[in-house]
Amino acid sequence: MYEFFKYLQFLWRSKNEHAVHSPFVFKLITEGVKTRIPLELRQLLPKHYKYLIGQKLKIKVEDFGAGSRVFKNEERGIDQIAKVAGMNQKIQELMASVTAYFKPQNMLELGTSLGKGTVAMHIGHPEGKLTTVERCPNTLAEAVKGFEQFGLKNISAVNALFTDFLNEDNQAWDLVYLDGGHTKDFTLFTFEQLLPKLHNDSLLILDDIYWSKEMTEAWEQIKAHPEVTVTIDSFDWGWVFFRKEQPKQHFVLRL
């Protein structure tokens, strides 16, 4: 009910491109999120999903953070996970357009699951280097099988806790997609770990900012952070930019 109520609020408050007075954000929502992906790459999204729901194997899933709202036990069918977890095709296409628009050379996904988001990030900019991190080894193994099935390159899959990975990581990231944990403390801690690895032109995308009241509280604190300038609430995602040349602004936009 919390998420539904917040969605009604979002519909009431959100604007379209005509209410945007930032040239950077205006171009992003009129051109960037509409960047076209070549058909042969775009077709990978439904093909990959069909592949996943065709997998009838059951695996033991180790849940971390807030856990699952759907599954009540650790043993889950791959096809069942694919139907309820990760991005739907509309959000996958949005992610692909974003990566095609910004062309980030170094991309990081925190929370692989079965790789639906990973594939979307990859097809937007196949030449970019993409690192995806997942704590559950069984889930990650199935995701990697999918990448191999479709011959996807430039993807490095890492089995680790986010905190352990970020403690050892020295890469500067152009695009980071955070989809894991789903608690306030975890999200804020991960954000602080990421900050030294982000630069002026980095984009951080936070998934599920209305998952719960505490996730929304984490989003509000990140918006207010002194190193954050431009933020966008598109309901499914919270977009975070660090462009020092821009004044601090927040937008609630229907994309």
Using the predicted structure, report yes or no on whether residue 52 has a pLDDT greater than 90: yes
Instruction: Return the percentage of the chain with pLDDT > 70, whole number.
Output: 96
pLDDT digits (tens, 9 = 90+) for 11-50: 999 988 777 888 999 999 999 999 999 999 999 999 999 9
Q: Which residues pair with 175 in a beta bridge?
A: 107, 203
Mean predicted confidence (pLDDT) in 99-112: 97
pLDDT digits (tens, 9 = 90+) for 80-94: 999 988 899 999 999
Q: CA 91 → CA 8, 96, 193, 215, 219, distances in Å?
A: 19, 9, 26, 20, 19
- pLDDT recorded at residue 68: 47
- pLDDT recorded at residue 6: 92
Contact between 202 and 223 under an 8 Å Cβ cutoff? The reply is no
Grade residue 67 by pLDDT with cuts at 50, 70 and 90: very low
Q: Which amino acid is at 43?
A: Q
pLDDT digits (tens, 9 = 90+) for 234-247: 999 999 999 999 99
Tokens representing 168 are: 């050892």
The tokens 């190193």 sit on which residue?
Answer: 227
- pLDDT recorded at residue 60: 86
Helices (H), 103-183: 116-124, 137-149, 162-168
- pLDDT recorded at residue 255: 86
Using the predicted structure, report yes or no on whether residue 252 has a pLDDT greater than 90: yes
- pLDDT recorded at residue 15: 87
Minimal CA–CA distance to 206: which of 128, 143, 117? 117
- pLDDT recorded at residue 23: 92
Tell me what the pLDDT averaged over the chain comes to.
92
Contact between 198 and 242 under an 8 Å Cβ cutoff? The reply is yes
- pLDDT recorded at residue 98: 97
User: 2-252: what CATH class?
Assistant: alpha beta
C-alpha to C-alpha distance for 81 and 52, rounded to whole angstroms:
9
C-alpha to C-alpha distance for 157 and 163, rounded to whole angstroms:
16
Using the predicted structure, report yes or no on whether residue 194 has a pLDDT greater than 50: yes
Sign, CA dihedral 63-64-67-68, equals negative
Q: Around Cβ 208, how many Cβ atoms within 10 Å?
A: 21
- pLDDT recorded at residue 73: 66
- Strand pairing report for 129-134 and 106-110: parallel
